[in-house]
Amino acid sequence: MSQECDCAGTAYGNMGADNCPVIGKVPHNIIVMNRYAADGTLNRIDLTSGTVGADIQAMILTTTVAQNRLFPFPFAENFVITKSETVYETATSGNKYKIKDGIRSFSFELNDKLSSTRMLEQANKFGCTALSYFVVDIEGKIEGYKESAAGTELFPIPMSQSTYNAILMYATDTTVQKIAIDFDQSQYFNDGSIYYLTATDLGYSATTLVGLKSVDTPVVSAITTTSATFTITRPGGSALETTFLKQLLVGNFSIIDLSTGVAIPGGITGFSETSQGVYVLSYTAIVGTPILRMVTTATGYDVPSVEYLDV
Protein backbone atom coordinates (compact mmCIF):
# COMPACT_ATOMS: atom_id res chain seq x y z
CA MET A 1 0.00 0.00 0.00
CA SER A 2 1.26 3.50 -0.70
CA GLN A 3 2.68 5.47 2.20
CA GLU A 4 0.10 7.76 3.81
CA CYS A 5 0.57 11.48 3.24
CA ASP A 6 2.68 13.19 5.92
CA CYS A 7 0.56 16.29 6.37
CA ALA A 8 2.50 17.40 9.47
CA GLY A 9 5.88 17.38 7.69
CA THR A 10 7.13 17.61 4.15
CA ALA A 11 4.69 16.38 1.54
CA TYR A 12 7.37 16.02 -1.11
CA GLY A 13 9.93 13.39 -2.03
CA ASN A 14 13.48 14.17 -3.06
CA MET A 15 13.91 12.53 -6.45
CA GLY A 16 17.64 12.86 -6.96
CA ALA A 17 18.99 9.45 -7.94
CA ASP A 18 21.88 7.70 -6.17
CA ASN A 19 24.84 6.68 -8.30
CA CYS A 20 24.84 3.07 -7.06
CA PRO A 21 21.46 2.07 -5.58
CA VAL A 22 20.70 -1.50 -4.45
CA ILE A 23 18.19 -2.86 -6.96
CA GLY A 24 16.32 -6.14 -6.82
CA LYS A 25 17.03 -8.60 -9.63
CA VAL A 26 15.17 -11.65 -10.94
CA PRO A 27 13.97 -13.84 -8.02
CA HIS A 28 15.90 -17.06 -7.40
CA ASN A 29 13.74 -18.45 -4.58
CA ILE A 30 11.84 -17.41 -1.49
CA ILE A 31 12.45 -18.05 2.19
CA VAL A 32 9.26 -18.64 4.17
CA MET A 33 8.97 -17.72 7.83
CA ASN A 34 6.14 -17.78 10.32
CA ARG A 35 4.75 -14.27 10.71
CA TYR A 36 4.93 -14.45 14.49
CA ALA A 37 7.73 -15.76 16.69
CA ALA A 38 7.23 -18.16 19.59
CA ASP A 39 6.94 -15.20 21.99
CA GLY A 40 4.15 -13.63 19.93
CA THR A 41 6.22 -10.80 18.44
CA LEU A 42 6.89 -10.36 14.75
CA ASN A 43 9.72 -12.50 13.42
CA ARG A 44 12.71 -10.52 12.25
CA ILE A 45 16.46 -10.54 11.54
CA ASP A 46 18.61 -8.52 13.94
CA LEU A 47 20.87 -6.21 11.93
CA THR A 48 22.99 -5.10 14.90
CA SER A 49 24.70 -8.36 15.87
CA GLY A 50 27.69 -7.93 13.58
CA THR A 51 27.25 -11.56 12.48
CA VAL A 52 24.06 -11.27 10.44
CA GLY A 53 25.19 -13.79 7.80
CA ALA A 54 25.97 -16.47 10.41
CA ASP A 55 22.78 -15.60 12.31
CA ILE A 56 20.66 -16.29 9.22
CA GLN A 57 22.41 -19.62 8.62
CA ALA A 58 21.70 -20.59 12.25
CA MET A 59 18.02 -19.61 11.87
CA ILE A 60 17.60 -22.48 9.37
CA LEU A 61 18.79 -25.16 11.79
CA THR A 62 16.76 -27.27 14.22
CA THR A 63 18.48 -25.44 17.09
CA THR A 64 16.07 -22.61 16.21
CA VAL A 65 12.48 -23.38 17.26
CA ALA A 66 10.16 -23.95 14.31
CA GLN A 67 8.11 -20.78 14.91
CA ASN A 68 11.28 -18.67 14.57
CA ARG A 69 12.95 -20.70 11.84
CA LEU A 70 13.72 -19.79 8.23
CA PHE A 71 12.53 -22.26 5.57
CA PRO A 72 14.36 -21.66 2.26
CA PHE A 73 12.60 -23.00 -0.81
CA PRO A 74 14.81 -24.42 -3.57
CA PHE A 75 15.50 -22.62 -6.85
CA ALA A 76 12.23 -21.80 -8.58
CA GLU A 77 11.36 -21.20 -12.23
CA ASN A 78 8.87 -18.89 -13.92
CA PHE A 79 8.39 -16.29 -11.23
CA VAL A 80 5.40 -14.12 -12.11
CA ILE A 81 4.85 -11.14 -9.83
CA THR A 82 1.88 -8.95 -10.68
CA LYS A 83 -0.16 -6.23 -9.04
CA SER A 84 -3.83 -5.65 -9.67
CA GLU A 85 -5.15 -2.23 -10.55
CA THR A 86 -5.56 0.43 -7.89
CA VAL A 87 -9.17 0.69 -6.68
CA TYR A 88 -10.90 4.06 -7.14
CA GLU A 89 -14.39 5.36 -6.70
CA THR A 90 -15.62 7.54 -9.53
CA ALA A 91 -18.17 10.11 -8.36
CA THR A 92 -21.05 11.36 -10.50
CA SER A 93 -18.98 14.48 -11.13
CA GLY A 94 -16.39 12.31 -12.86
CA ASN A 95 -13.78 12.86 -10.13
CA LYS A 96 -11.86 9.78 -8.98
CA TYR A 97 -11.02 9.03 -5.35
CA LYS A 98 -8.39 6.50 -4.41
CA ILE A 99 -9.62 3.70 -2.11
CA LYS A 100 -6.65 1.34 -1.96
CA ASP A 101 -3.71 -0.04 -3.93
CA GLY A 102 -4.06 -3.23 -5.90
CA ILE A 103 -2.98 -6.61 -4.54
CA ARG A 104 0.45 -8.02 -5.44
CA SER A 105 0.43 -11.71 -6.36
CA PHE A 106 3.34 -14.14 -6.58
CA SER A 107 3.55 -17.40 -8.47
CA PHE A 108 6.45 -19.72 -9.29
CA GLU A 109 7.22 -23.35 -10.05
CA LEU A 110 9.42 -26.10 -8.70
CA ASN A 111 10.42 -28.25 -11.66
CA ASP A 112 11.45 -31.83 -12.37
CA LYS A 113 13.43 -33.31 -9.42
CA LEU A 114 12.17 -30.54 -7.14
CA SER A 115 8.55 -31.44 -7.89
CA SER A 116 8.14 -34.80 -6.13
CA THR A 117 4.91 -35.52 -4.31
CA ARG A 118 6.94 -35.67 -1.10
CA MET A 119 8.06 -32.10 -1.77
CA LEU A 120 4.42 -31.18 -2.38
CA GLU A 121 3.53 -32.78 0.96
CA GLN A 122 6.07 -30.53 2.71
CA ALA A 123 5.04 -27.42 0.77
CA ASN A 124 1.40 -27.92 1.73
CA LYS A 125 2.28 -27.81 5.44
CA PHE A 126 2.79 -24.07 5.22
CA GLY A 127 -0.85 -23.27 4.52
CA CYS A 128 -2.10 -23.52 8.11
CA THR A 129 -0.49 -20.47 9.74
CA ALA A 130 0.15 -16.75 9.26
CA LEU A 131 3.11 -16.63 6.88
CA SER A 132 5.67 -14.15 5.69
CA TYR A 133 8.56 -14.39 3.24
CA PHE A 134 11.89 -13.01 2.08
CA VAL A 135 12.78 -12.94 -1.61
CA VAL A 136 16.25 -14.12 -2.67
CA ASP A 137 17.35 -12.78 -6.05
CA ILE A 138 19.90 -14.15 -8.52
CA GLU A 139 22.60 -11.83 -7.12
CA GLY A 140 22.21 -13.49 -3.71
CA LYS A 141 20.46 -10.58 -2.01
CA ILE A 142 17.71 -11.03 0.58
CA GLU A 143 14.70 -8.72 0.24
CA GLY A 144 12.68 -7.81 3.33
CA TYR A 145 11.44 -4.61 4.93
CA LYS A 146 12.36 -2.20 7.68
CA GLU A 147 9.86 -0.28 9.76
CA SER A 148 11.88 2.90 9.27
CA ALA A 149 15.07 4.01 7.56
CA ALA A 150 16.82 3.95 10.94
CA GLY A 151 15.38 0.53 11.82
CA THR A 152 17.77 -2.12 13.11
CA GLU A 153 15.69 -5.15 12.09
CA LEU A 154 14.80 -6.68 8.73
CA PHE A 155 11.31 -8.19 8.70
CA PRO A 156 9.89 -10.77 6.29
CA ILE A 157 7.14 -9.45 4.04
CA PRO A 158 3.65 -10.54 5.16
CA MET A 159 1.50 -12.81 3.01
CA SER A 160 -2.23 -12.35 2.84
CA GLN A 161 -3.57 -15.06 5.11
CA SER A 162 -5.14 -18.11 3.44
CA THR A 163 -3.89 -17.23 -0.07
CA TYR A 164 -0.90 -19.61 -0.04
CA ASN A 165 -1.49 -22.57 -2.35
CA ALA A 166 0.66 -25.40 -3.72
CA ILE A 167 -0.58 -27.80 -6.41
CA LEU A 168 0.90 -30.63 -8.46
CA MET A 169 1.08 -30.15 -12.23
CA TYR A 170 1.48 -33.44 -14.10
CA ALA A 171 4.09 -33.94 -16.81
CA THR A 172 2.99 -33.83 -20.44
CA ASP A 173 4.62 -34.80 -23.72
CA THR A 174 6.37 -31.42 -23.77
CA THR A 175 6.65 -30.42 -20.09
CA VAL A 176 8.11 -31.90 -16.89
CA GLN A 177 6.20 -32.39 -13.67
CA LYS A 178 5.96 -29.24 -11.56
CA ILE A 179 4.72 -27.91 -8.26
CA ALA A 180 3.00 -24.56 -8.79
CA ILE A 181 2.96 -22.25 -5.78
CA ASP A 182 1.16 -18.94 -5.50
CA PHE A 183 0.16 -16.46 -2.83
CA ASP A 184 -0.78 -12.80 -2.36
CA GLN A 185 1.21 -10.22 -0.49
CA SER A 186 -0.66 -8.43 2.28
CA GLN A 187 -2.53 -5.58 0.61
CA TYR A 188 -1.47 -3.26 3.43
CA PHE A 189 2.24 -3.64 2.74
CA ASN A 190 4.17 -0.54 1.65
CA ASP A 191 6.65 -1.41 -1.13
CA GLY A 192 8.63 1.71 -0.24
CA SER A 193 9.74 0.03 3.00
CA ILE A 194 11.72 -2.69 1.17
CA TYR A 195 15.43 -3.05 1.97
CA TYR A 196 18.07 -5.62 1.03
CA LEU A 197 20.85 -7.61 2.62
CA THR A 198 23.48 -7.96 -0.10
CA ALA A 199 25.88 -10.85 -0.60
CA THR A 200 28.57 -8.52 0.75
CA ASP A 201 26.49 -7.88 3.87
CA LEU A 202 26.03 -11.62 4.39
CA GLY A 203 29.52 -12.78 3.47
CA TYR A 204 28.00 -15.25 0.98
CA SER A 205 25.30 -15.47 -1.68
CA ALA A 206 21.87 -16.10 -0.22
CA THR A 207 21.25 -18.48 -3.14
CA THR A 208 23.41 -20.98 -1.21
CA LEU A 209 20.94 -21.16 1.69
CA VAL A 210 19.09 -24.49 1.56
CA GLY A 211 16.27 -25.90 3.64
CA LEU A 212 16.42 -28.96 5.85
CA LYS A 213 15.31 -32.36 4.57
CA SER A 214 12.38 -34.03 6.27
CA VAL A 215 12.80 -37.23 8.32
CA ASP A 216 10.11 -39.50 9.75
CA THR A 217 9.77 -39.86 13.52
CA PRO A 218 12.21 -42.65 14.54
CA VAL A 219 10.61 -45.96 15.51
CA VAL A 220 11.75 -47.40 18.86
CA SER A 221 11.99 -51.16 19.42
CA ALA A 222 13.85 -53.82 21.44
CA ILE A 223 13.93 -51.69 24.59
CA THR A 224 15.96 -53.18 27.44
CA THR A 225 17.32 -51.76 30.68
CA THR A 226 20.55 -50.81 28.91
CA SER A 227 19.69 -50.29 25.22
CA ALA A 228 17.12 -49.47 22.59
CA THR A 229 16.93 -49.79 18.81
CA PHE A 230 15.91 -46.88 16.59
CA THR A 231 14.89 -47.16 12.95
CA ILE A 232 15.14 -43.85 11.11
CA THR A 233 13.54 -43.41 7.69
CA ARG A 234 12.88 -40.57 5.29
CA PRO A 235 9.75 -39.87 3.23
CA GLY A 236 10.25 -41.56 -0.12
CA GLY A 237 8.34 -41.72 -3.39
CA SER A 238 8.12 -45.49 -3.67
CA ALA A 239 5.14 -47.18 -2.05
CA LEU A 240 7.25 -50.31 -1.43
CA GLU A 241 10.85 -49.26 -0.92
CA THR A 242 11.91 -47.55 2.28
CA THR A 243 14.39 -44.68 2.30
CA PHE A 244 16.66 -44.87 5.35
CA LEU A 245 18.72 -42.16 7.01
CA LYS A 246 21.96 -44.08 7.16
CA GLN A 247 25.62 -43.75 8.18
CA LEU A 248 24.98 -41.58 11.22
CA LEU A 249 27.58 -41.62 14.00
CA VAL A 250 27.29 -41.89 17.76
CA GLY A 251 27.84 -38.14 18.02
CA ASN A 252 24.57 -37.58 16.15
CA PHE A 253 22.59 -39.01 19.07
CA SER A 254 21.81 -38.08 22.65
CA ILE A 255 19.34 -39.46 25.19
CA ILE A 256 17.64 -37.16 27.69
CA ASP A 257 16.06 -38.30 30.96
CA LEU A 258 12.85 -36.27 31.10
CA SER A 259 12.63 -36.68 34.88
CA THR A 260 15.83 -34.63 35.22
CA GLY A 261 15.88 -32.77 31.92
CA VAL A 262 19.52 -33.67 31.26
CA ALA A 263 21.41 -36.37 29.40
CA ILE A 264 21.43 -39.82 30.98
CA PRO A 265 24.41 -40.47 33.32
CA GLY A 266 27.41 -41.73 31.39
CA GLY A 267 25.84 -40.88 28.04
CA ILE A 268 25.74 -43.41 25.20
CA THR A 269 28.23 -46.21 25.93
CA GLY A 270 27.68 -48.38 22.86
CA PHE A 271 26.62 -47.74 19.29
CA SER A 272 26.11 -49.73 16.11
CA GLU A 273 24.23 -49.45 12.82
CA THR A 274 23.06 -53.04 12.45
CA SER A 275 21.55 -52.38 9.02
CA GLN A 276 20.82 -49.29 6.97
CA GLY A 277 19.10 -46.74 9.20
CA VAL A 278 18.77 -49.14 12.17
CA TYR A 279 20.78 -47.95 15.19
CA VAL A 280 21.32 -49.70 18.53
CA LEU A 281 22.22 -47.32 21.35
CA SER A 282 23.53 -48.72 24.64
CA TYR A 283 23.80 -46.99 28.00
CA THR A 284 24.18 -47.69 31.70
CA ALA A 285 21.01 -48.93 33.42
CA ILE A 286 18.98 -46.08 34.89
CA VAL A 287 17.34 -46.20 38.31
CA GLY A 288 13.55 -46.39 38.00
CA THR A 289 11.57 -46.30 34.78
CA PRO A 290 11.78 -42.72 33.51
CA ILE A 291 10.59 -41.50 30.16
CA LEU A 292 13.56 -41.01 27.88
CA ARG A 293 13.85 -38.79 24.82
CA MET A 294 16.18 -39.71 21.98
CA VAL A 295 17.41 -36.65 20.07
CA THR A 296 19.11 -36.91 16.68
CA THR A 297 21.10 -34.03 15.24
CA ALA A 298 22.18 -34.57 11.63
CA THR A 299 23.46 -31.80 9.37
CA GLY A 300 20.91 -30.93 6.70
CA TYR A 301 18.07 -32.95 8.24
CA ASP A 302 15.13 -32.24 10.56
CA VAL A 303 14.86 -35.40 12.65
CA PRO A 304 11.98 -35.42 15.17
CA SER A 305 12.83 -36.48 18.69
CA VAL A 306 11.14 -39.61 20.03
CA GLU A 307 10.16 -40.52 23.58
CA TYR A 308 9.93 -43.97 25.12
CA LEU A 309 9.55 -45.56 28.54
CA ASP A 310 12.68 -47.07 30.06
CA VAL A 311 12.16 -50.61 31.38
Q: Does residue 4 carry a pLDDT above 70?
A: no
pTM for the full predicted model: 0.90
Question: pLDDT at position 2, please?
Answer: 54
Distance (Å, rounded) from C-alpha 34 to C-alpha 131? 5
End-to-end CA distance of the chain: 61
pLDDT for 128 equals: 78
Which residue did the predictor score with more confidence, 5 or 310? 310
Across the range 203-225, mean pLDDT stands at: 97
Position 5 pLDDT exceeds 80: no
Instruction: Tell me the pLDDT of the chain averaged across its residues.
Output: 94
Q: Write out pLDDT tens, residues 120-176.
A: 999 999 977 899 999 999 999 999 999 999 999 999 999 998 899 999 999 999 999
* Residues with Cβ within 8 Å of residue 125, at least 6 apart in sequence: none
* pLDDT, tens only, 176-200: 999 999 999 998 899 999 999 999 9
Catalogue all structural domains in the chain, each as residue range(s) with its CATH number: 27-211 (no CATH), 214-309 (2.60.40)
Asked if 245 and 277 touch (Cβ cutoff 8 Å), the reply is yes
Angle at 280 between CA 61 and CA 65, to 5 degrees: 20
User: 120: part of which helix (H) or strand (E)?
Assistant: helix 117-124
Average pLDDT estimate for 83-90: 94
pLDDT tops 90 at residue 9: no
> What is the distance, to the nearest Å, from the Cα of residue 47 to the centroid of all Cα atoms in its chain?
19
Q: How far apart are CA 163 and CA 222, in angstroms?
A: 46
